[in-house]
Structure 1
Amino acid sequence: MDKPALSWTSKSERRPVAPGVLVEVPALSYHAPGQERADRRLGNKLVFGDNLAALAALAPDYAGRVRCVFIDPPYNTGSAFAQYDDGLAHARWLGLMRDRLELLRVLLSEQGSLWISIDDHESHYLKVLCDEVFGRANFVANVVWQKKYTIANDARWLSDNHDHILVYAKDKAQWRPNRLPRTEVMKARYRNPDRHPKGPWKATPLHAKSGSHGSRAFSFTFSNGVVWRPPAGTFPRFSSETLRRLDQGGEIWFGKRGTTAPARKTFLAELADAGTPSPTIWLHAEAGHNHEARDEARAVHPDQPFDTPKPERLLHRIIHLATAPGDIVLDFFAGSGTTGAVAHKMGRRWVMVECGRHCESHIVPRLRMVIDGRDQGGMSPALAWKGGGGFDFYTLAAPGIS
């Protein structure tokens, strides 16, 4: 039986891909004094040209090496953007995305991940398309990012305040995201009312939602005589041996008066290094918002700000979750260059591809400011960024031309 698939007019039509050759433009490449790389093959790259051809040109060197791909493709909303044709016919848009998804999958490492920013107009179609290319088993999450913090009072229907970020792994069985640092608000939830020597703690239930069927008959008697059984429909989280050890160590809480249901004391000191898993709802206070992104873009180009930038805090969170220092980050809808700028500040290698003229007019000046240390906006203060590094600028030439 055939598996369900997304269909559209001209799905069987595929544009021939002429990979071309990457040709450096030394006049537009830029490095901090004394920091040019001897081996530039896998160094930072900014490529001007068609992104489909660029992905094919990058494949010989980058196949299986890219740890994180972030893209912010045209949303196909019908809006007229100066930088993008964002009114592509629906079928053409799907074909454009399908061809690029197939190529980027080749570039991803087995531990790599894909993050796509998209709005409601195409998110549901894009999800099914990604399922076809990556496999439904490799879908990780649909993150909801609060891109606006104010209500649009002139909205005809509902105020549009969010975008989606679809997350896929090349191989979900091998991919594990990093954790987010615990915030001060999170840490404040841990207290120490009984002055336990291990420090602040938070009560954790002894029961779980799942377990073996036979464990529903589980019971345990604590040293104070309290008999505990998991509530109806739940299962014990810990074995009798573990509960006995926790009880002997004073790590079970029965409430101030000793009358509440027993719970485990989870100590902050034992969790501080592990961090916390990322939620799937990212509020603007944590991951930035559109207004913040436009302010960052104006800092580089006061007279010609980019129409649809993403905030540096958003990219910082994605790159933090998906990579480690030295890993390669790819963005082939580079836009205003936020991905490369943030990856650079975080000590990651990066490749960006952009077909618009703003590749030279917007992205190059921004990256120069980052390298010179003159960019002290966005994530620079939090990362203590002072400058350094560099990048090489490339164009695409026809095959056989060097």
Structure 2
Amino acid sequence: MPTLEWIGKDKVVNHHQEVPYRVLERQYSYDEAGQHAEDNSSENMIIHGDNLEALKALLPRYEGKVKCIYIDPPYNTGNEGWVYNDNVNDPKIKKWLGEVVGKEGEDLSRHDKWLCMMYPRLKLLQRLLRDDGAIFISIDDTEQSNLRLICDEIFGTGNFISDVIWQHSVQANGYGGKFVSQFNHTLVYSKSSQFVLGNLPRSDADNKLYKNPDNDPRGPWRAGYCVNGLYRPNLKYEIQTPHGNIISPPEKGWRWSRETMQAKLNSGEIIFNVDETAIIHKLYLSDLNGKVPENIWAGGIAGTTRQATAELKVIFDGKAPFDTPKPTCLIERIIQIASDPDSIILDSFAGSGTTAHAVLNMNKADGGNRKFILVEMMDYADSITAERVKRVIDGYGEGKKAVEGTGGNFSYYDLGPVLLLPDGNLNEEVGPQKIREYVYYMETKESLPSEHSEDEPYFMGLCRNTAYYFYYERERVTTLDHAFLATVQTKAEGYTIYADLCAIPQETLHKHNITFKKIPRDIARL
């Protein structure tokens, strides 16, 4: 498989493994009661912070659980006048390049820098996807070819689904000597072959070809092909009509065997034309489950950036605080074909918050329970991204432009401290609960159970018939001894117990299927 090489690639291919694990610190929650400090246990999240570190922070809870990812990363056009700086010269990215790539970063081209920025983020996004999940990535011609190659490397060429062409503008301005650009790419990759592309709802325009001129009890239909697409000599046979006419086979043969053809004739699925010189295959509207998506999305169907800007102006009282946003109907279209009503939808380049808006719209429309996770590194994460979501929940606009609120909720997070310090010790400021969540995930690749037994305060959970204990106290040294074992109540085939020290001989541990792990030495790094 062809691979793409660029300056700095060797520094970032495995950088996602070196990204420190930070905890997420909830700042506030929002729901029908407005903004408040109390935790409303919302599964919807808006995270302010570097998306590379935020994606790492999501792994313990969400690895392999996200059904649909949509991202709209910087296109690397060099335009530095936007609120969302569409250029890898952003100070935060330059700082990261300096720390990770080193002095080489000073000599990198714009494309090298962009690739260095994107590669580790895509690696983490791939880990977060469910096996039946897919990622949709908006991009323009500047980096489309490079993005395709690194996605082939990360997701696998066999998991490429499509390059969807979206007409983002129907009234584009042209400049002398250049083509008018009216479309963007959306690269689509699945996590594995388990992904199944869903259908879109059918419109009246989609159904206009279906008629019922013969009052067929199965409803409207249209004529379909009866001829085989490939040459099949074994499917060449004559058909006799009710009045004895003979219909010769087409050059490539019929689509079905003689037996199947006769069954369709008997059921009325295939009929003869008036003069019995041809057959007609009925395709019934009632047999269709929606519309199979095409890979060209016109602006009149999927929306345009002009429409998205107009929508933002209504939401933000006449001002659009974000240039070239994505229209809500574009993201809704993606969610319709790539997720279920209870799926998790992730957007790690959240921008103005369109993805959350789309999720909330769809939940209101069909009663679904989709959850959104947004990540935005810029300082407007609260003032624009989260603010838009608040207004969508509550309702916005005035008069004829008033839009009823969708309802819903979310919690807003900042990236907190590193859990494991550079010297390998635990950062005790993180708190025992966050540490337990991390340790349990590293052992089981499962989320820490929410239920907690007061009788066994150090018990984390039972996974694959192994019981996990984290015997940790901030103010004292803990020791795995017989006194502690006497407190163990959970029955299991094996036990993994973390503590500072162990006073039980190895032979005894082995006899009782106990694995001792020393804090912090044996805590694995994510």
- Tell me whether the two structures share a fold, i.e. TM-score over 0.5: yes
Partner of 2:351, secondary structure, is: coil
Q: Which residue of 2 aligns with 1:292?
A: 307
Q: Is the 8 A contact 2:162 2:295 kept in 1?
A: yes
Q: Is the 8 A contact 2:66 2:346 kept in 1?
A: yes
What per-residue deviation string (whole Å, max 9, x for no partner) do you get for residues 57-113 of structure 1? Answer: 000000010000000000011111433332331111112111111101110000100
Q: Is the 8 A contact 1:222 1:244 kept in 2?
A: no
CA distance in 1, matches of 2:189, 2:243: 49
Q: CA deviation at 1:218?
A: 4.5
Matches within 5 A, 1:10-159: 10-14=8-12, 15=15, 16-26=18-28, 29-33=29-33, 39-40=41-42, 43-88=43-88, 89-159=110-180
Change (3 A) 1:152 1:304: closer
Q: CA deviation at 1:340?
A: 1.0
CA distance in 1, matches of 2:371, 2:205: 33
Structure 1 vs Structure 2 CA RMSD: 2.4
What amino acid does structure 2 have at the position aligned with 1:207? V
Q: Which residue of 2 aligns with 1:391?
A: 410
What amino acid does structure 2 have at the position aligned with 1:371? I
What amino acid does structure 1 have at the position aligned with 2:282? K
Q: Is the 8 A contact 1:145 1:284 kept in 2?
A: yes
Partner of 2:196, secondary structure, is: coil
Moved more, 242-251 or 136-145: 242-251
Q: CA deviation at 1:222?
A: 4.3
Q: Is the 8 A contact 1:83 1:356 kept in 2?
A: no
CA distance in 1, matches of 2:176, 2:56: 42
What amino acid does structure 2 have at the position aligned with 1:246? K
CA distance in 2, matches of 1:258, 1:220: 10
CA distance in 1, matches of 2:264, 2:206: 24
Change (3 A) 1:224 1:360: farther
Matches within 5 A, 1:195-344: 195-210=215-230, 213=232, 215-228=234-247, 231-232=250-251, 234-259=252-277, 261-271=278-288, 274-301=289-316, 302-344=318-360
CA distance in 2, matches of 1:225, 1:76: 69
Q: Is the 8 A contact 1:294 1:309 kept in 2?
A: yes
Q: Does 1 or 2 have the higher relative contact order (CA < 8 Å, sep 6+)?
A: 1
CA distance in 1, matches of 2:227, 2:190: 31
Q: 2:207 aligns with which of 166, 187, 191?
A: 187
Fraction of identical pairs, as percent: 37
Change (3 A) 1:193 1:98: same
Show structure 1 runs of 5+ residues with no match: none
Change (3 A) 1:18 1:196: same
CA distance in 2, matches of 1:388, 1:269: 34
Change (3 A) 1:305 1:39: closer
Q: CA deviation at 1:231?
A: 3.2
Figure out how many residues of one structure are paired with residues of the other and give that number: 385
Change (3 A) 1:256 1:124: farther
Q: CA deviation at 1:344?
A: 2.0
What amino acid does structure 2 have at the position aligned with 1:316? E
Q: Which residue of 2 aligns with 1:4?
A: 2
Change (3 A) 1:363 1:243: same
Q: Which has the larger radius of gyration?
A: 2
What per-residue deviation string (whole Å, max 9, x for no partner) do you get for residues 187-213 of structure 1? Answer: 1101122332322210011123248x5
Q: Is the 8 A contact 2:305 2:325 kept in 1?
A: yes
Q: CA deviation at 1:37?
A: 7.7
Q: CA deviation at 1:142?
A: 0.6
CA distance in 1, matches of 2:417, 2:246: 77
Change (3 A) 1:115 1:219: farther
Q: Is the 8 A contact 1:48 1:359 kept in 2?
A: yes
Change (3 A) 1:276 1:290: same
CA distance in 2, matches of 1:293, 1:313: 9
Change (3 A) 1:359 1:267: same
Partner of 2:24, secondary structure, is: strand
Q: Is the 8 A contact 1:20 1:398 kept in 2?
A: yes
Change (3 A) 1:398 1:224: farther
CA distance in 1, matches of 2:170, 2:49: 35
Q: Which residue of 2 aligns with 1:177?
A: 197
Show structure 2 runs of 5+ residues with no match: 89-109, 364-369, 419-426, 431-526
Partner of 2:54, secondary structure, is: helix
What per-residue deviation string (whole Å, max 9, x for no partner) do you get for residues 152-210 of structure 1? Answer: 24353111000011111101x21112111121012110112233232221001112324
CA distance in 1, matches of 2:173, 2:163: 24
Q: CA deviation at 1:343?
A: 0.9
Q: CA deviation at 1:324?
A: 1.2
Change (3 A) 1:62 1:376: farther
Q: CA deviation at 1:282?
A: 0.5
CA distance in 2, matches of 1:61, 1:304: 35
Q: Is the 8 A contact 2:234 2:253 kept in 1?
A: yes
